[in-house]
């Protein structure tokens, strides 16, 4: 009787989706997958630091109340909590500091999406770590280090690549209100970041937004704070600390990012495509 009950519990549990990353792209994918019936866990990676935190589930790691497009998030610290969360659809996704190796021992992962956007780091081979693996952005090659790759480069975002590589990073930021890379402030040195500035705050050129290892960091121009690294984060040199939105009343810093939404829809299309291919293969084997 006990074994039958456990079997029934497993059958009722939703498919298990693991997303690597807690940024706005990972979060948009999480929203899409949760609404498609998946039990979703986002695994935090410290690189690169998350700046668009009002568009992401990232701050749930610090027990902040987080809501992205009507979906809330809760922090989980153990495999037992994740198993419990997978069996209870309570309107939340799960966010954890546990890494992929910790999550692999919890149970068979149905879908693994790497949304860390580690553009300049060596990309691991994700295949065989889940029933289906999807890599987002630079470094991924469909059929080589993931089952399906999805392009994230501005202007090409959402392209599904089954065989071949995504574009290498070119360092060119997509335009936003006539601004490109100049809307970002990068860390000139490694150090601990301190800032009391809130996302959504209007700042003016040369306004003091924070300190990096004791070095003052100022706003490059007038605008709304669209993203900023969380206070107290240790950051390496070169990463983005701050993003300003120059669009005035049209500025946006909450909800689903437009580019992230396109990418999340591509993930959903990739799932449908793979299911259709599997069904076609089954039919061929019958007839």
Tens digit of each residue's pLDDT (9 = 90 or more) over 203-212: 999 999 999 9
| Cα distance between residue 230 and residue 53, in whole Å | 8
pLDDT in tens, 97-134: 999 999 998 888 999 999 998 876 767 889 889 999 99
Contact 176, 246 (CB under 8 A): yes
CATH 3.40.50 residue spans of the chain: 2-170+257-286
One CATH from 2.60.40, 3.30.1480, 1.10.10, 3.40.50 for 2-170+257-286 = 3.40.50
| Owner of token pair 């190796």 | 101
Stated pTM of the model: 0.88
**Domain 181-246 bears CATH identifier 2.60.120.10:** no
- Bridge partners for 210 per DSSP: 217
Residues with Cβ within 8 Å of 80's Cβ and at least 6 positions away in sequence, in order, are none
Does position 18 have pLDDT exceeding 50, yes or no?
Answer: yes
Residue range(s) of every CATH 2.40.50.100 domain in the chain: 181-246
Looking at residue 160, its pLDDT comes to 95
Name the helix (H) or strand (E) containing 61.
none
In the predicted model, what is the mean pLDDT of residues 34-48?
93
Q: Are 271 and 111 in contact (CB under 8 A)?
A: yes
């Amino acid at each position: 009787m006990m074994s039958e009950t456990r079997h029934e519990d497993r059958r009722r549990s939703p498919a298990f989706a693991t997303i690597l990353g807690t940024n706005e792209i990972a979060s948009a994918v999480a929203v899409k997958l949760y609404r498609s019936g998946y039990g979703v866990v986002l695994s935090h990676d410290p690189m690169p630091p998350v700046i668009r935190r009002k568009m992401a589930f990232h701050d749930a790691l610090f027990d902040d109340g987080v809501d992205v497009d009507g979906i809330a998030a809760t922090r989980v610290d153990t495999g037992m909590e994740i198993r419990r969360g997978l069996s209870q659809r309570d309107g939340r996704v799960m966010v954890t500091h546990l890494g992929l190796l910790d999550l692999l021992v919890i149970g068979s992962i149905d879908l693994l999406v790497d949304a860390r956007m580690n553009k300049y780091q060596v990309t691991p081979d994700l295949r065989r770590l889940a029933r289906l693996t999807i890599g987002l952005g630079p470094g991924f090659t469909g059929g080589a280090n993931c089952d399906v790759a999805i392009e994230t480069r501005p202007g090409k975002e959402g392209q599904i690549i089954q065989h071949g590589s995504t574009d290498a990073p070119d360092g060119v930021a997509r335009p936003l209100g006539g601004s490109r890379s100049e809307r970002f402030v990068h860390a000139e040195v490694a150090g601990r970041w301190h800032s009391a500035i809130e996302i959504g705050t209007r700042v003016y050129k040369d306004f003091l937004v924070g300190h990096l290892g004791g070095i003052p960091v100022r706003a490059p121009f007038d605008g709304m704070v669209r993203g900023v690294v969380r206070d107290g984060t240790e950051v390496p040199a070169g990463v983005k600390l701050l993003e300003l939105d120059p669009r005035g009343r049209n500025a946006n810093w909450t909800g689903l990012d437009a580019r992230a939404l396109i990418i999340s829809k591509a993930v959903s299309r990739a799932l449908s495509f793979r299911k259709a291919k599997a069904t076609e293969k089954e039919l061929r084997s019958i007839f």
